[in-house]
Chain A
Amino acid sequence: MTMTTQVNPWAAAPEGVRCEFVDGKTAKRHDVYVTMPPGEGVLELSYLAEPREDMWGKVVSGETLRVTWPMSQVRHVEGQQKLRWGKVPMGVFTNVMSPTARLYVRDGALLAQIKTAAPNLTRRAPVTGKGRIAGLIAGALASVLLIVFVLIPAIADQLAMRLPVDGERALGDKTYERIRESFSQNDYIPIRECTNDAGHEALTRMQQTLIGASDLAPDAVRLTVLDFDMVNAFALPGGRIVVMRGLIDEAGGPDEVAAVIAHEIGHVAHRDPTRHALRGVGTFGVLSLVFGDFAGGTVVLLSVNQLVNAQYSQEAESAADAYAHALLPKVGVSPGALAPLFERLKEKYGDSEGLASHLASHPKLGDRVDRAHAAAAGFDQDTRPILADAQWSDLRAICD
């Protein structure tokens, strides 16, 4: 391990503790003898210089170099305080005035001496450019916020209006499958779609009645019931409206279900789900970048949660409500039909949310109940149930 520098065997053994030293200028490692003259507060390092040519071309060797490190300038090398060499600790020291030089100490006694005598061993260079760092953080934060909350929504809105119907449906089908998989209790079988014959017939009837009264194309909306407890319904891109079984179980009659569906048809007519899905694609990509989650699990989790518990903007919600309030009277259902379900849910679960009561916990629910009542006040024609009693019981049994 030692360098092969040949030392004159008759020379007096140098004074001090043998350590290793690099001067930070060449990659040569020197065997250095370290002393701490009492009372001077310095480390004296002496080592054999490399042979060099003097001004007459004669090789000079055997010179001894001396380096003096004032104790106040000696520092630990950051992150190397606890190195070991076999069973003994190894100290790596440097000098603030020559920060690339290193002194490697393996002698326990000398190590202890240096540690007691050097006052600033762990002092670090002050952090420079704090202002620059603060500026960078602020700038990065501002641009990410701008991208997420302004740029991406703006582009998503534009693109959503231009996406052809086929593309929109394909997008909806993909997200639909993703939702079915993520809500499933089993990793391999997606959550069940309810297609009981009689129930499906009732569902189709409700769909046709509602669409017939609207200004949408007959195939613009597809209703699907999923076998899941959640009291929820949501629209997906391409006009797929998913009603969870929990909602049908909870509803007091077909009109309440129709009212919820009419609201979702409003979202479809305004292309809210497509806009939402496209926005999610951009936003969650950026989020996973920020938080460094490369496995992408956060993204999947959040995006599914967002799709199902979609909270559209206040304007989008009002617009969908207005759409529902206009549509429902055309099929003989009071726009107020939305209110009882919400009120019942609120009564049942209180204002605190339960796992299943997403609809009840929707913000501004009170406003929506009020609006529904207000719309119902102007409604004076005769009501007729959207489904006959027999069909309603068929629909309630769609998942059996």
Chain B
Amino acid sequence: MACGGHVAQLLKTEFEGRVGPILSLSLWTATLSVLTLGFYRFWMKTRLRRHFWSAVRPDGTPLEYVGKGIEKFTGFLIALVMLALLIGVLALVLVYASYAVFQDEVEAYLVAAVIALPLIYFASYRAKRYVYARTRWRGIRFGLEPAAGKYALVAMGHLFLTLITFGFLWPRMTFKLEKFRTDRTFFGDQRMHQGGKWAGLAKSFLPTLMCLWLAFGMIAYMTFQQVTTTAKDNSFLEETETLQMIAFTPLLLLVGLFFYLRYRVVALRYLANHKTAGGVGMISRLSFPRILGINIGGYLLTNICTGLAMLVVGAVASGILILFYPGLADLGIFASGAVSEGTAGEGDGLPSTGLTVAFALFLYMATLLFFSVFRQTFVLFPTWRHYARTLSLTGGEHLAQIQQRDRDQAGQAEGMAEAFDLGAAI
């Protein structure tokens, strides 16, 4: 600098975005996705990302997403061939084996889950690599070193440790996996570093762990009781005890969920506060009550709006149906619902089976569409805004030393992740 002295700079993040544009963008891209039988979804996601990224402005400069829909589409095509083979043939063989040996299909799902787990971690790392490679700030590219295979292996190891300790080492897994990724992340030529210790997350995970262990204990106790009562005579007292426990379980689940959400937020804040990129650091003031409020209010609004939108769509569709099939006139605006459920009855002037199925599909897809649009607007958008506004960068004066990095092709984009619906949000 001109005077030679480095003044420590705190760079705040601004957020520039409104609900209106987000709602209209997600509405028309989602409509296109449905009209194109889902094939527009790659371009939809790209457009949404561009929008969300450019709303986040550390130190007033917008983030940029430079990915292309066509990249995602071709990446998906490549993954499709492999996964179609895997999913089609494997599902078939597993279901066969499961019925042949166990006369049930639960076992098939279990084995499929065990096979899918490492693939999911593999795909999620790949997807992150693509997204980082297409993200820029101040013209400088982000990057993630290719290590998806190793990541999947490491994740499996941590998962195993977590399982045999009944969840005790879950925070360790959270931390180590985040460190694995962060330590391979670059901003320009500057490698990032995840500081801190996993024990820093342990305390905030304790309440969740307690709920989990209490649930385990109750299940174990109930199984034990059942074994002993069948051995002896079943007394009335034990019956009520079991009933009380069953009533208690949903409450326990709810409390556990609450604590787990809190853990997620606290962990995210802790991990952000311990990230550095050379002399540049991060400060996050993420607030759990705000996130909880956004989620509760957001999902409430999402459901109400989806319900209202479907009422309108159903009414319009019913009107069209009645025009063509006057026999449905008695049902009024509920004609489309009745037809799609096959309860409209039978006889002359009624739609055929094929049309019924098509109608059910249409209503189903429309519901999904509206839900995702409103969730985008009322849950993800405010969450994103809160994340951005509570984030600041320290040591901004060190940014001048960060140099550009080469472009990472990140070949198959998020092809694999598409299959598992990872990063379903944006």
Interface residues of A, Cβ cutoff 8 Å to B:
1, 4-7, 20, 22-29, 50-51, 59, 61-62, 77-80, 83-86, 92, 100-102, 104, 127, 132-133, 136-137, 139-140, 143-144, 147-148, 151-152, 155-156, 159, 162-164, 166-171, 174, 183, 185, 229-230, 246, 278-279, 281-283, 285-286, 289-295, 297-298, 301-302, 305, 309, 349, 352-356, 358, 361
Contact = CB atoms under 8 A, between A and B. Distances in A.
Given A79-B54, A155-B93, A298-B361, 4 more contacts: A4-B1, A4-B397, A159-B92, A185-B343
A185 B348 contact: no
A281 B92 contact: yes
B104 A170 contact: yes
A137 B84 CA distance: 14
Nearest to B55: A83
A25 B404 contact: yes
A240 B62 CA distance: 63
Interface of B: 1-4, 7, 9, 16, 37-38, 41, 47, 50-51, 54, 59-62, 64-66, 70, 74, 77-78, 80-81, 83-85, 87-89, 91-93, 95-96, 99-101, 103-105, 136-141, 187-188, 341-348, 350-354, 356-357, 360-361, 364-365, 368, 397, 399-404, 418-419, 421, 424
A26 B397 CA distance: 12
Nearest to A349: B348
A354 B99 CA distance: 37
A278 B95 contact: yes
A354 B348 contact: yes
A50 to B, nearest CB: 6
Contact of A309 (B104, B351, B353, B419): B353
A159 B346 CA distance: 39
Contacts of A28: 138, 399-400
A286 B88 contact: yes
Contacts of A155: 89, 92-93
B100 A78 contact: no
A26 B100 contact: no
Nearest to A291: B38
A140 B81 contact: yes
A59 B4 CA distance: 10
A356 B327 CA distance: 15
A353 B371 CA distance: 34
A285 B91 contact: yes
27 contacts: A6-B2, A25-B403, A27-B139, A27-B188, A28-B138, A79-B50, A80-B50, A83-B54, A92-B62, A100-B141, A136-B77, A140-B78, A143-B81, A144-B80, A144-B84, A159-B93, A162-B96, A171-B99, A229-B346, A278-B92, A278-B96, A281-B95, A282-B87, A305-B357, A353-B352, A354-B348, A355-B353
A185 B341 contact: yes
Contact of B99 (A29, A152, A170, A358): A170
Nearest to B108: A281
Given A147-B84, A185-B341, A163 B60 contact: no
Given A133-B70, A285-B87, A302-B357, A29 B138 contact: yes
Contacts of B64: 77, 80, 92
A280 to B, nearest CB: 10
Most buried by A among B60, B88, B356: B88
Contact of B91 (A6, A170, A282, A305): A282
A162 B341 CA distance: 36
A359 B103 CA distance: 32
B6 to A, nearest CB: 9
Given A80-B50, A101-B139, A289-B80, A298 B93 contact: no
Contacts of A85: 16, 60
A14 to B, nearest CB: 15
Nearest to A353: B352
A301 B353 contact: no
